[in-house]
């Protein structure tokens, strides 16, 4: 199974990395691709660093992670980074392998605002990293409302282990709700801490911290 994990990664932090580690333990991913975003629609104001800097930080983090591959697909593309384009790219590249898109639960609850999200869910499964407080008895109801007109056909709780619940859609794709530890760390907070001269030690890896300091990222000009 091939997995895609995209994001602005401005910067990539320990929360991202810990989520990938636990996702890999819960689901038998053969390969995981980290995809720094190029020009995300409606979110250009969130990117404060050039793509090359964000790419280098992801490469540094992957070395410490010990697994994962870095894709420059979105950074190399001149088109807006619609999720559909990225998923289609990997679907064409790995025609015979199951494809899974790893997202956060906040993104899942906004999925109905995605560009042609029904097509995205026809091409790939989802693995959902929970934000604190997401996994609860009302989670399935929230997800079902956001997926419409796609319908839920089956729910397997604690499948294949207690670390996940699996939802099967009428498109015969799976949405894996991971029940894992999710660190409450945000790139926004890290940028703010750097801007105000506060430590980011243990929020990012040491090489990423060093890169941010050397490149003077997130500081006032």
Q: What gap in Å lies between CA 221 and CA 216, rounded to an integer?
A: 9
- Global confidence as pTM: 0.92
Largest pairwise CA distance in the chain: 53
For each of the chain's 221 residues, which pLDDT tens digit applies?
999 999 999 999 999 999 999 999 999 899 999 999 987 666 555 567 999 999 999 999 999 999 999 999 999 997 788 999 999 999 999 999 999 999 999 999 999 999 999 999 999 999 999 876 676 556 788 888 999 999 999 999 999 888 899 999 999 999 999 988 888 899 999 999 999 999 999 999 999 999 999 999 998 75
Q: What gap in Å lies between CA 135 and CA 180, rounded to an integer?
A: 10
Residue pair 29/2 in contact by the 8 Å Cβ criterion: yes
């Amino acid at each position: 199974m091939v997995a895609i994990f995209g994001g602005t990664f401005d910067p990539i932090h320990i929360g991202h990395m810990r989520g990938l580690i636990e996702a890999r333990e819960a689901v038998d991913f053969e390969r995981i691709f980290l995809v720094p975003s190029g020009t995300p629609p409606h979110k250009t104001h969130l990117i404060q660093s050039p793509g090359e800097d964000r790419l280098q930080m992801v490469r540094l983090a992957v070395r410490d992670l010990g697994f994962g591959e870095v894709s420059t697909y979105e950074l190399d593309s001149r088109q807006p980074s619609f999720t559909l384009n990225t998923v289609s790219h990997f679907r064409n590249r790995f025609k015979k392998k199951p494809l899974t898109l790893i997202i956060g639960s906040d993104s899942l609850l906004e999925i109905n605002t995605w560009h042609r999200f029904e097509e995205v869910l026809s091409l790939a499964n989802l693995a959902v990293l929970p934000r604190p407080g997401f996994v609860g008895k009302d989670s399935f109801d929230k997800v079902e409302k956001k997926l419409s007109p796609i319908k839920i056909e089956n729910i397997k709780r604690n499948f294949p282990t207690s670390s996940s619940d699996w939802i099967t859609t009428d498109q015969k794709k799976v949405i894996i709700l991971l029940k894992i530890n999710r660190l409450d760390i945000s790139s926004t907070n890290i940028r703010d801490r750097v801007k105000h001269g506060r430590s980011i030690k243990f929020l990012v890896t040491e090489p990423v911290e060093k890169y941010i300091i050397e490149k003077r990222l997130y500081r006032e000009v």
